[in-house]
Amino acid sequence: MLRQTALFVLAALPYSLAQLTEGFENGWDQTAWPTYALDCSQGGSVALDSSTAHNGTKSIKVTGAGGYCGHIFVGTTKVPSGDVYVRTWLKASKALTDAHVSFITMPDSAQGAKKHLRIGGQSKILMYNRESDDATLPDLSPNGIAASKPLPTGSWQCFEYHLGTDGSIETWLNGVAITGLTTKNNPNAEQWTRSSIKPKITGVYFGWESYGGDTNTIWYDDIVIGSTRAGC
């Protein structure tokens, strides 16, 4: 089922219980999965690729250029209205550096117009960033950095996260919880939790955005977005 776009909605049940899956085996439906680049896009690109895949023979390849306008994403606005669980298999060609970058961006109406909840890296580790106040999860202290993980390169990785309606966040890499990227009982989340913002995302987009000069190429495959955890 991961090799085809499928939207499953049980009769008489709300969309919050739906699940959207995409494995790109039937190609890239650019109507269902449009590109996204707020404000500007110069140099980045998205393409259907057959050189590597997690399952089957195809994946989406995002070539991210350096600098803010080098960003480009591809994704969907089909997100549940309640709890949101996202899983993607991804393969990065370069390691995260000290520079701030994003590889998932989500328009977040709770933060205001044109503001995003972002997932990416800084200080060589995976992290969340809230655009409205530039808060990070975890705090980028030595303890906070140690509580997260780097993103392995050159092989397919299973990345999952959960956004709760209560504002909570959970994150897993290859099925293992990342303690620094959760909001519950996290001593390294003080910067994040001092705000009362509860994310209300209107889309999920996969790609690359650099706020300095970092470039990267990332492949995405077997994406699942739904109201329950899909697992790896």
Task: Kindly give, in sequence order, each residue whose CB lies less than 8 Å from that of residue 45, ignoring residues fewer than 6 positions away.
Answer: 62, 63, 72
In a domain, 7, yes or no: no
Per-residue H/E/C for 107-146? EECCCCCCCEEEEEEECCEEEEEECCCCEEECCCCHHHHH
- Chain CA centroid to CA 95, Å: 16
Q: Is residue 174 over pLDDT 60?
A: yes
Of the chain, the percentage scoring pLDDT greater than 90 comes to 86
**Domain with 104 in it:** 20-226
In a domain, 184, yes or no: yes
DSSP 8-state symbol, 16: G
What is the tally of structural domains in the chain?
1
CA-to-CA separations, 110 to 17, 89, 106, 168, 171, in angstroms, rounded: 22, 27, 11, 14, 20
- What pLDDT, on the 0 to 100 scale, is given for residue 17? 44
Q: Which residue has the higher pLDDT, 66 or 88?
A: 88
In a domain, 14, yes or no: no
CA distance 76 to 4: 15
CA distance 227 to 231: 12
In a domain, 211, yes or no: yes
Q: What is the pLDDT of residues 192-210, one digit of tens each?
A: 999 999 999 999 999 999 9
Q: What is the pLDDT of residues 8-18, one digit of tens each?
A: 333 333 444 46
In a domain, 2, yes or no: no
Q: Which residue has the higher pLDDT, 213 or 110?
A: 110
Q: Is residue 3 over pLDDT 70?
A: no
In a domain, 146, yes or no: yes
* DSSP per position, 137-177: ES-SSHHHHHTS----BSS-EEEEEEE-TTS-EEEEETTEE
In a domain, 6, yes or no: no
Stretch 39-61: mean pLDDT, rounded?
94
CA dihedral sign of residues 178, 182, 184, 185: positive
- What pLDDT, on the 0 to 100 scale, is given for residue 70? 86
Smallest CA-to-CA distance from 122 within 139, 110, 105, 143 is with 139
28 CB neighbour count, 10 Å cutoff: 17
Residues 43-52: b if buried by 16+ CB within 10 A, e if exposed: ebbbeebeee
At 74, which CATH number? Answer: 2.60.120.200
In a domain, 1, yes or no: no
Give the type of residue at 6: A
Give the type of residue at 127: M
Residues 5-22: b if buried by 16+ CB within 10 A, e if exposed: beeeeeeeeeeeebbbbb
- What pLDDT, on the 0 to 100 scale, is given for residue 5? 41
40 CB neighbour count, 10 Å cutoff: 10
